[in-house]
Amino acid sequence: MPRDFDQLDWNDDCRDACRKLVRLAIVEDLGREYDWTTLALVPASSGAANIVSRQSGIVAGLLCVQVVLEEYNADMQLECFIQDGDAVQPGSVVATVSGDSRHLLTSERVFLNMLCRLSGIASLVRKFVDAVAETSAKIYDTRKTTPGWRLLEKYAVRCGGGCNHRQSLADAILIKDNHLAIGHSLATHSTDDQSDKDTPAQAVRRAREFLANIDQPYRREPRRMIEVEVDSLEQLRQVLPESPDIVLLDNMTPESLQEAVSIRNELNATVELEASGGVSLETVAAIAATGVERISAGALTHQATWLDFGLDWKTRG
């Protein structure tokens, strides 16, 4: 069975990352003093409000709402009617928040910001996933995430039905063009043209030798995956005999991708192919139809727009 990167579910690391962001948001909103508007107009009392979707999409971030409430006031309660990953329509009540009215109003913007941002990512990812549903290709995210938000944004990708690429630089060896150019020039003290770069095949051999000889405390099991980027079919032919786990096909046309799949099937069918570059909702179906197993797209996180949610106060009686 092909190896894959670790896939992220909500865990303690996600919760800790969320808590750090919430504390920063509290400093932004309240670090200078108080919520004077709420103190002036809202008496100390208990109340409740519904979190309501204003658009159709996929929910992600309800678990973040709970963290926000805990950071503002431990006595506030969250009752969820759906789960992260569920679909909503305009007017869907996804949860009810109850407790101190002042704390609810003060925390409103923070938890809605997180819910809207993460649900926007999940909703966009679901569109990509649906576009390739008739193929065997899987949609993967990238490290093009908002600083500090990586775990939460990758969690949102999972809520949308996508897959996680590596979470950090430590999770795999991913050899790209600049590694070939810079690594060779520094090792040889050469500043000549690109003919002096290591080839992808040479780089895979060097990486595997490095992993085989690495000493404690750097060694970690299971063995790290090796992925290598190529930008031509000739490079693909050269690297396949080295059996990297994945070959990343950079900015290739659907025609070239289809030929790449044929070459892979002939030379080394155990290697998976990942298409990257130029991936959009308009192009992803044609890319998936070529037979590649993986499609990675930075757009999943850096091009997503927010899914709108609002807080509707519940009247008494």
| pLDDT one-digit tens code per residue, 185-207 | 545 545 454 455 679 999 999 99
Residue 219: the pLDDT is 56
Model confidence at 183, in pLDDT bands (50, 70, 90)?
A: low
Beta bridge partners of 294: 138, 274
Average pLDDT over residues 155-166: 98
Q: What is the DSSP string of the chain?
A: ----PPPP-S-HHHHHHHHHHHHHHHHHHHSSS--HHHHHHS-S-EEEEEEEESS-EE---HHHHHHHHHHH-TT-EEEESS-TT-EE-TT-EEEEEEEEHHHHHHHHHHHHHHHHHHHHHHHHHHHHHHHTTTSS-EEE--S---TT-HHHHHHHHHHTT-B---SSGGGEEEE-HHHHHHHHHHHHT----GGGSPPHHHHHHHHHHHHHHPPTTT--SSPPEEEEEESSHHHHHHHGGG--SEEEEES--HHHHHHHHHHHHHH-TTSEEEEESS--TTTHHHHHTTT-SEEE-THHHHSPPPPPEEEEEPPP-
Active-site residue (options: 15, 19, 109, 206) = 109
Residues of the chain with pLDDT > 90, as a percent, come to 76
177 contacts: CB under 8 Å, gap ≥ 6: 197, 229, 231, 250
- Mean per-residue pLDDT for 28-42? 87
Residue 266 annotated among the catalytic residues of the structure: no
The CATH superfamily of 176-297 is Aldolase class I (3.20.20.70)
Please tell me the predicted confidence (pLDDT) of residue 221: 54
Give the CA distances from residue 292 to residues 1, 149, 220, 269, 276, in Å, rounded to whole numbers and listed in that order: 16, 29, 29, 12, 11
Would the pLDDT of 317 be above 80? Answer: no
Half-sphere exposure of 206 (CA within 13 A, CB side): 14
Alpha-carbon gap, residue 85 to 100, rounded angstroms:
29
CATH 3.90.1170.20 positions along the chain are 12-128+304-313
43: cis peptide before it, omega within 30°? no
Per-residue model confidence (pLDDT) at position 39? 84
Residue 135 has which token pair?
Answer: 């193929």
Q: Are 272 and 294 spatial neighbours (Cβ–Cβ below 8 Å)? A: yes
Pick the catalytic residue from 35, 250, 259, 308.
Answer: 250
Burial of residue 258 (number of CB atoms within 10 Å: 0-12, 13-18, 19+) = middle
What would the pLDDT profile of 64-116 be if each residue is shown by its tens digit? 999 999 999 878 999 999 999 999 999 999 999 999 888 999 999 999 999 99
> Among 84, 229, 245, 274, which one carries the catalytic annotation?
229
Percent of the chain with pLDDT over 70: 91
- Give yes or no: 20 in active site: no
> What pLDDT does 31 receive?
84
308 is catalytic: no
Burial class (CB in 10 A: 0-12, 13-18, 19+), 176: middle
Active site residue 229: yes
CA distance 178 to 7: 27
* Known catalytic residue at 144: yes
Nearest Cα residue to 124 out of 92, 156, 97: 156
Residue ranges, comma separated, of all CATH 3.20.20.70 domains in the chain are 176-297
Distance from C-alpha of 17 to C-alpha of 25, rounded to nearest angstrom: 13
Q: Among residues 15, 54, 176, 237, which one is catalytic?
A: 176
**Which member of 15, 19, 144, 208 is catalytic?**
144
Give the dihedral of Cα atoms 203, 205, 211, 212; nearest 10 deg. Answer: -160
Give mean pLDDT, residues 42-47: 88
Output the pTM of the full model.
0.92
At the top level of CATH, which class does the domain 12-128+304-313 belong to? alpha beta
User: Residue 44: is its pLDDT beyond 90?
Assistant: no
Q: Report yes or no: 274 and 257 within 8 Å, Cβ to Cβ.
A: no
